[in-house]
A and B are shown apart, each in its own frame.
Chain A
Amino acid sequence: MTSLTVTNVHKRLGGTDVLRGVSFSLRRGEVVALLGPSGSGKTTVLRAVAGLDHPDSGRILLGDRPLFDSGTGVQVPAERRDLGLVFQSYALWPHKSVFDNVAYPLRLRNVPAGDLRERVLTTLREIGLTGMEDRYPHQLSGGQQQRVALARAIVYQPQLLLLDEPLSNLDAKLREEARVWLRELIERLEISAVCVTHDQVEALAIADRVLLLDNGRVEQEGTPEEIYQSPQTLFAAEFMGSNNRLPGTISETQGAMAKLSGNGWELWGQLRAKRRPGEAATALIRLERMQLRDGPGENCLAGKLEAAVYLGERWDYLFRAGDLRVRVWCPAAPAQKPHWIGFPPESLWIF
């Protein structure tokens, strides 16, 4: 059963197309991440679903209920959409206590006082904030504020939870914890959620499905594994992970494989776009797929070590091979010279 259907949503703002036909759907209990660089339109999609921004055309359905339809002129105001939204800045009302912040949506729904108290306290307990109900937002830490914002958005059991960069205001350590905690909470409450983020790790961790947005349209859609392991475009491949990028020319093709050549090097890789011999192309490989070898071999280049950075769980090397500069991640200390860098052909994607 679908929980949210967004169909062909367009929006122009000040002469530029912010959204150019975004479509996606969300099944009940599913978490979708809208991932993209800044300016890709992801927040606009979220605000359009919430009713805070109005698209120029398209359709947004919540279950079977139209929230927005440019065809029939339906435009349900934000306050009647019955959604939960957690803002990037949390937007906790500074003049209300934690209890009153969380109770506010219930008061709007005329929940009787006794029932209201019960529900607020239950939600606060679920979210790990028992005993904090009389505090004011400025007396809470960033992580606690984030939890209150979430409690406030789920206390009235909306059909759909919208999260705008929910973890970006937390510091790195806290963010890692919150990621796991948020995923666990969403699963436990069995709610559907749309989460906007520019952080790929956050998207991969939280979502069942990732929508990669670029320039106002969906570039690729799929499970986190699909998005990371089989990107369909150069943008999708490059946006995820840390990569080496090798510009060159196709010199030979064999089925799904192709040979890319540059100034003093040639490498075999997997052809991921329609390219003929003689055409310019770009190869991409994730840093963790790179290999350091003991001697020359297939799909291997000799490299000169230019820099080595120790990062704790791994080393990050920078090599020069001809006119290429490539990075390699490797768990061990720098090996002896000469360095041989392997590019496994199945991991070298040519676009």
Chain B
Amino acid sequence: MGRRRSGIRIALVLAAAAAIVSPLALVLYQSVLDAPFFQPSARPSLDAFRFVFADSDFHRAFGSTVLLSAGMTAIAVPLGSALAFLMVRTDLPARRWLEPLVLVPIFLSPVVLAFGYVVAVGPVGFVTILWKKIFGSAPWNLYSLASVILVAGLTHIPHVYLYASSTLRSLAGDLEEAASVSGATSGRIALTVSLPMVWPAILSSGVLIFFLGFEMFGLPLVLGDPEGLLVLSTYLYKLTNRLGVPSYQLMAVVAVVIMAIAFPLVWMQRRLLGAASRFVSVRGKGLSARPLRLGAWRWVALAAVLSWLVATVVVPLAGVVLRAFVSSWGEGVRLSEVLTVEHFTDLFQYPNLVRGIGNTLGIAVLGGALAVAWYAAIALASHRWQSVWARVVDYLVMVPRGMPGLVAGLAFFWLFLFFKPLGPLRGTVASVWIAYTVVWFAYGMRLISSALLQIGPELEESAMTMGASGIQVMREITLPLIRTGLLGSWLLVFLIFVREYSTGVYLLGPGTEVIGSLIVSLWATGAVDTVAALSVINVLLVGMGLFVALRLGVRLHD
């Protein structure tokens, strides 16, 4: 390995480390000061911790967050595992069609979904009104912790499904066949062979869901607000308004609390995932198992999966679309009288909204490509690198996972505001792009490394022995071989960047608008018409991205 090449690699790793660690460090530093960190009078102090820990709102928010996390885990894990089992191991009808569909909730923005639920099953939602017409009264209350838990649980089923199904798929069918030949019944095989092997993956997805619950922002913001329900992230978001003055140290403390819970969970999930892949690596031929015949139950199973999709995708999206094309909605309103496209034409009256749409597209398309290039550069730098630096990258990947988008956005906002060399970036889309790229670092790295893993080391080594330098090997062997993987990563990063909303919340300002953060801030002002129109555009962009990805045969997961 040439010294110059190592130099470039180390520089790349250091740059990534700086981008990832500096916001984290700034938040930690701010949390132990008694004033904003840029004020000369700021002194080290634990007052902020004392204040937050004594605040009864914080206690309530913490309690709700734990309930939310536990509740959504209890819903998503069994249902997600069941879905994976149905899709991978049984003769469920229309599996081929369902496969991309069940992943759609992952790519829908939670604020859009939450807004859709408000419009569909809220107190004056169209489903609620219809129900009341028929049955007299609606027995549910959308603005309750139970509803938030239910919606969160149902929309996180795909996350569990991803882990459980990929493990189920990679388990060799011959392992089960061996058990059946030795005389085990199918029930016994499921309990003694299949489940123990899938268990670490299920457990790890459970941990994942639990910490996603701690970071959840959009759903509790929209659904919890009307009844004053707070979780940690919305408590953080409301802190500024509540005290009247920007209380940096208090925000930092809440951010630190969220991360202090998330980091051990991220680490735990990683360990469990490692345990899960232990079984995967011993796979034999795989994919040979005969699907379990469900008989007439297959139609029941299909109905269950479809009704879940209706509840998590169709109902909220139908609500969003409907609301976007009516001038007002409520009891007694007739659809034919209120239809309008004005909300969309109105969007163009506001330069900030037009900019927001343009910025979203720019960040997703161009920014997505740049982000993939950046992830690829880091991944290639640590590719087959026998060095401690490669381990550093391994650990770096974990940091953004434990840092919720809202917190990362806040940290970057401070960084751009008061770190002079970065000043010129403030107020430009570049600041949002940087925050997005860092927040999704782990996701992007996983996309690229799964493409790199496909390449046998000897394909690169043979070029080396023939006299190709490191750069030549990368340019002519490695990159061409991961080309389709890079294209797929670009599309997935596009989808994720279109969907993202929380990271942009604190960075929102003239010039840095994106659809996601605009929806959050407009929702607070009650501009429902505009929120609906923007939501439809957001969903359309996601739909277009998904369409292209599926047409090109991009796998939505690895």
The A25-84 residues at the B interface (CB cut-off 8 A) are 50-52, 77-84
Do B459 and A51 touch across chains, with their CB atoms under 8 A apart?
no
Give the residues in chain A near B469, CB-CB below 8 Å: 79
Question: Which of A50, A78, A84, A89 contacts B456, CB < 8 Å?
Answer: A89
If over half of A's interface residues share one DSSP class (helix, strand or loop), that class is named, otherwise mixed; here it is loop
CA distance A105 to B469 in the complex (A): 11
Chain A residues near B553 (CB-CB < 8 A): none
Interface centre among B465, B468, B476 (most CB of A within 10 A): B465
Among B440-497, those with CB < 8 Å from A are 456, 458-459, 461-470, 472, 476-477, 480-481
Q: Are B466 and A91 in contact (CB under 8 A)?
A: no
* Chain A residues positioned under 8 Å from B472 (CB to CB): 79, 108
Contact B458 A89 (CB under 8 A): yes
Report the Cα distance A88→B456, complex, angstroms. 12
Known contacts: A93-B477, A95-B480, A95-B481. The answer to whether A85 contacts B462 by CB under 8 A is yes
A147 close to B (CB within 8 Å): no
Q: Bound complex: CA of A51 vs CA of B480, how far in Å?
A: 24
Contact B459 A156 (CB under 8 A): no
> Which of these, B456, B461, B463, contacts A104 with CB under 8 Å?
B463
Of all chain B residues, the one with the shortest Cβ separation from A75 is B1
A94 at interface (Cβ–Cβ under 8 A)? yes
**Are B2 and A81 in contact (CB-based, < 8 A)?**
no
**C-alpha gap A87/B472 in the complex (Å):** 20
CB distance from B330 to the nearest CB of A (A): 60
- CB neighbours of B456 from chain A (8 A): 89, 91
Partner among A78, A108, A152, A156 whose Cβ is within 8 Å of the Cβ of B461: A78
| Chain A 91-118: CB-based contact to B (< 8 A → 1; otherwise 0) | 1011100000000110011000000000
The answer on a CB contact under 8 Å between B468 and A51 is no
- The smallest beta-carbon distance between A117 and chain B, in angstroms, is 18
Q: Do B463 and A51 touch (CB < 8 A)?
A: no
Q: Are A82 and B462 in contact, with the CB atoms below 8 A? A: no
B464 partner residues in chain A, CB cutoff 8 A: 51-52, 77-79
Is B458's CB under 8 angstroms from A94's CB? no
Chain B residues within 8 Å of A81, by CB: 465
B56 to chain A, nearest CB (A): 55
State A108–B465 Cα separation when bound (angstroms). Answer: 11
**Of all chain A residues, which has the CB nearest B481?**
A95
CA distance A51 to B465 in the complex (A): 8
Residues of A near B2 (CB, < 8 A) are 77
Chain A residues numbered 110-152 whose CB sits less than 8 Å from any CB in chain B? 152
How far does the Cβ of B106 sit from chain A's closest Cβ, in whole Å?
Answer: 31
Question: Do B466 and A152 touch (CB < 8 A)?
Answer: yes
Residues of A within 8 A of B476 (CB): 104
Which residues from chain B contact A85 at a C-beta distance below 8 Å? Answer: 461-462, 465-466
A105 to B430, CA, bound (A): 42
Question: Bound complex: CA of A109 vs CA of B456, how far in Å?
Answer: 24
Contact A108:B466 (CB < 8 A) given known A78-B461, A95-B480: yes
Interface residues of A (CB under 8 A from B): 50-52, 77-85, 87-89, 91, 93-95, 104-105, 108-109, 152-153, 156, 162
Which 6 pairs show the lowest CB-CB distances between chains A and B? A105-B466, A91-B458, A91-B462, A85-B465, A78-B464, A87-B458
**Interchain Cβ contacts under 8 Å between A and B, 19 examples:** A50-B461, A51-B465, A52-B465, A78-B461, A79-B465, A79-B467, A79-B472, A82-B467, A85-B466, A87-B458, A87-B461, A87-B462, A89-B458, A93-B463, A93-B481, A94-B481, A95-B480, A104-B463, A104-B466
Query: Besides A91-B462, A93-B477, A108-B472, 7 other CB < 8 A contacts?
Result: A79-B464, A79-B466, A81-B465, A84-B466, A93-B463, A93-B481, A108-B466
